[in-house]
């Protein structure tokens, strides 16, 4: 039998504010335990939360970037449960009136666009960190407790591991462009839970779903989905029922284990937090936040296509904000989009795979691009100069001089190469004359070789034609 997989994701993303969501403590990763804490985030008796404006703005920006409607009025609620990482034994979150509702993220599936709908994006506080020291105890560090998080909840529109990863990549990339988060999965600033069920393709009834937690990389998400859909199909085919439960993915052994079943599922007793007022955001405020968002990858791609770049090249350039920023910066010095794009895609991106640091300043690259654009050096020579610039840090102009790569445009000098090529290659000349016009390419190659790459190939082509037609 054929089965469909139905997947919904819940993505948690830490916001890069200076301070925590409800107190003025530093929002910073990697400090001494409990050193970025105050009575509020430690849940001391009598302490009260005060909402961070920036956190709300960032959550709204996320909503706008993913095409959500923003609620003018939204409410913070308490989600009550006991766990040592939760200092107040409740998490301040949003349930009935979140900041953002009804958005979507567009992904590519087999070359076709597909919209993954978002149910909501809400703002909440992160929990602290449990450190297991291996000597029979757990130590709680509340530095992360109270850090602002957005939770992005999709509709069950995802139907495979590939789509899930494409969704997460698009999500991560767009968030990175907005600047509201570091989106580092390895530091836990981006986390993801998977809700998954399977059903026979010809059935309209949804199957029982499970929830998988502890997915710490895109690869883990991919593997976990494939594992879980296979497991569920096997269970059904063996005549078993799927149990609604929460599973914990273990990436080391590539299996998921049950954490708790629905029977002992929590009753969170949500109710509006009486310490916090509902937040009102006017349409004007929403509009001004919208205007503050930098250009997002989808918009940038359209602009780049307008420059005459191919779809492939444009897509590559918007895969990272650092790269598209770099591209835009080089363009601000020299308006040659195609040449710049070629250098970035073929040279810079290749180099960045070897080392993470971009050693070439935009202005330096623009000088090289100018030389190529003005045909002072050939494209081949350009690549050579790029290599040397990356290695030595010297400027393009200096290197062109040092390496003697300046393109030969002198007619007398070029003519002597052309005449020599015609004399030395009678067969190609004969081919050309008999109508095989492509033979001229070989002759151009010979001239380039003789000139050590310095001849202007276009000019050589013209001169060869003129000589051969004589």
Partner 1 sequence: MITKKDVLHVAKLSKLEFNEDEIDAFVENMDSIVGYVNTLSQIDTSGLEEELTAVNLDDLRQDEVQPSLPQESAILNAPKKRNGGFSVPQVVE
Partner 2 sequence: MDYTKLSILELAKLLREGKVTSVELTKQVLAKIKEKEHLHALNSVMEEYALARASEVDQMFSEGKELPTLAGIPITIKDNINIKGFNTTCSSKFLENFVAPYSATIVENLEKNYAVIVGKNNMDEFAMGSSTENSAFYPCLNPRNEECVPGGSSGGSAAAVAADLGFASVGTDTGGSVRQPASLCGVVGLKPTYGLVSRYGIVAFASSLDQAGPLTKTVKDSAVMLNALAGHDAKEETSANVEKVDYMDSFTGSVKGVKIGLIKEFFGEGLDEEVKNAILDAANFYKSKGAEIVEISMPFVGSALACYYILSSAEAASNLSRFDGVKYGVSVDDPKNLNDLYLRNRSQGFGKEVKRRIMLGNYVLSSGYYDAYYKKAKKVQRLLVQQFADTFSKCDVILSPTSPTVAFKIGEKANDPLAMYLSDIYTVPVNIAELPAISIPCGLNKDNLPIGMQLIGKKFSEKTLFNVADVFETMKGEN
Interface residue with partner 1 among 66, 142, 304, 327 (CB under 8 A) is: 142
Interface residue with partner 2 among 88, 144, 191, 209 (CB under 8 A) is: 88
Residue 274 interacts, among partner 1, partner 2, none and using kind-specific CB cut-offs from 5 to 8 Å, with: partner 2
- Of 36 and 342, which CB lies nearer to partner 1 in the complex structure? 36
Give me the least distance between CB of 285 and partner 1, in Å please: 5
Interface residue with partner 2 among 90, 227, 304, 386 (CB under 8 A) is: 90
Report the chain's C-alpha Rg in angstroms.
30
Kind plus residue range of the DSSP H or E element containing 46 = none
Interface residue with partner 2 among 106, 275, 325, 329 (CB under 8 A) is: 275
Residue with tokens 């530095």: 143
Residue 133 interacts, among partner 1, partner 2, none and using kind-specific CB cut-offs from 5 to 8 Å, with: partner 1
Q: Is 379 in the site for partner 1 (CB under 8 A)?
A: no
- Of 17 and 119, which CB lies nearer to partner 1 in the complex structure? 17
Binding segment for partner 2 (CB under 8 A), chosen from 80-88, 300-308, 350-358, 457-465, is 80-88
How far is 36 from 274, CA to CA, in rounded Å?
25
Contact 249, 212 (CB under 8 A): yes
Q: Is 97 in the site for partner 2 (CB under 8 A)?
A: no
Q: Please provide the DSSP assignment of 391-444 as one string.
A: HH---HHHHHHHHT-PPB--HHHHHHHHHHHHHH-HHHHHHHHTT-TTHHHHHH
How far is 336 from 338, CA to CA, in rounded Å?
6
Q: Is 33 in the site for partner 2 (CB under 8 A)?
A: no
Sheet holding 90-93, edge to edge: 90-93, 77-80, 271-272
How far is 368 from 371, CA to CA, in rounded Å?
5
Interface residue with partner 1 among 7, 25, 86, 150 (CB under 8 A) is: 25
Residue 359 interacts, among partner 2, partner 1, none and using kind-specific CB cut-offs from 5 to 8 Å, with: none
How far is 152 from 13, CA to CA, in rounded Å?
8
Q: What is the DSSP letter of 319?
A: T
Kindly determine how many residues on this chain lie close enough to bind partner 2 according to the rule CB under 8 A. Answer: 28
Which positions touch partner 1 (CB under 8 A)? 17-19, 23-26, 32-39, 42, 50-57, 73, 75, 82, 84, 130-133, 136-142, 214, 248, 259, 267, 269, 277-282, 285
């Amino acid at each position: 039998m054929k089965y469909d997989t139905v997947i919904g994701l819940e993505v948690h993303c830490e916001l890069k504010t200076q301070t925590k969501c409800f107190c003025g403590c530093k929002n910073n990763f990697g400090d001494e335990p409990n050193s970025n804490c105050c009575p509020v985030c430690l849940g001391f008796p009598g302490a009260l939360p005060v909402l961070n404006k920036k956190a709300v703005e960032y959550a709204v920006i996320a909503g706008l970037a993913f095409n959500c409607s923003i609620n003018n009025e939204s409410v913070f609620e308490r989600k009550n449960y006991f766990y040592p990482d939760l200092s107040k034994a409740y998490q301040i979150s949003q349930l009935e009136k979140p900041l953002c509702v009804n958005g979507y993220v567009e992904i590519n599936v087999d070359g076709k666009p597909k919209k993954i709908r978002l149910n909501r994006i809400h703002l909440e506080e992160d929990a602290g960190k449990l450190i297991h020291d291996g000597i029979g105890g757990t130590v709680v560090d509340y530095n992360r407790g109270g850090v602002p998080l957005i939770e992005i909840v999709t509709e069950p529109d995802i139907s495979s591991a590939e789509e899930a990863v494409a969704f997460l990549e698009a999500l991560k990339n767009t968030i990175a462009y907005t600047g509201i988060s570091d989106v580092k999965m390895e530091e836990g600033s981006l986390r993801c839970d998977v809700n998954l069920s399977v059903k026979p393709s010809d059935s309209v009834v949804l199957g029982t779903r499970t929830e998988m937690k502890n997915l710490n990389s895109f690869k883990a998400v991919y593997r976990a989905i494939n594992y879980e859909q296979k497991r569920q199909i096997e269970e059904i085919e063996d005549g078993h029922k799927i149990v609604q439960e929460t599973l914990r993915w273990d990436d080391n052994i590539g299996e998921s284990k049950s954490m708790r079943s629905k029977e002992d599922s929590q009753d969170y007793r949500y109710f509006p937090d009486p310490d916090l007022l509902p937040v009102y955001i006017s349409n004007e405020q929403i509009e001004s936040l919208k205007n503050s968002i930098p250009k997002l990858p989808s918009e940038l791609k359209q602009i780049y296509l307008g420059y005459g770049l191919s779809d492939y090249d444009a897509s590559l350039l918007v895969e990272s904000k650092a790269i598209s920023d770099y591209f835009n910066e080089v363009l601000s010095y020299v308006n040659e989009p195609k040449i710049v794009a070629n250098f970035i895609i073929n040279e810079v991106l290749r180099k960045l795979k070897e080392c993470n640091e971009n050693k070439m300043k935009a202005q330096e690259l623009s000088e090289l691009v100018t030389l190529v654009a003005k045909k002072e050096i050939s494209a081949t020579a350009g690549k050579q100069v790029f290599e040397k610039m990356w290695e030595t840090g010297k400027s393009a102009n200096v290197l062109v001089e040092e390496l003697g790569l300046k393109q030969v445009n002198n007619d007398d000098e070029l003519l002597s190469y052309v005449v020599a090529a015609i004399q030395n290659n009678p067969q190609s000349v004969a081919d050309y004359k008999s109508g095989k016009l492509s033979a001229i390419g070989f002759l151009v190659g010979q001239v380039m070789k003789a000139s050590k790459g310095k001849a202007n190939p276009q000019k050589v082509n013209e001169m060869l034609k003129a000589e051969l037609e004589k």
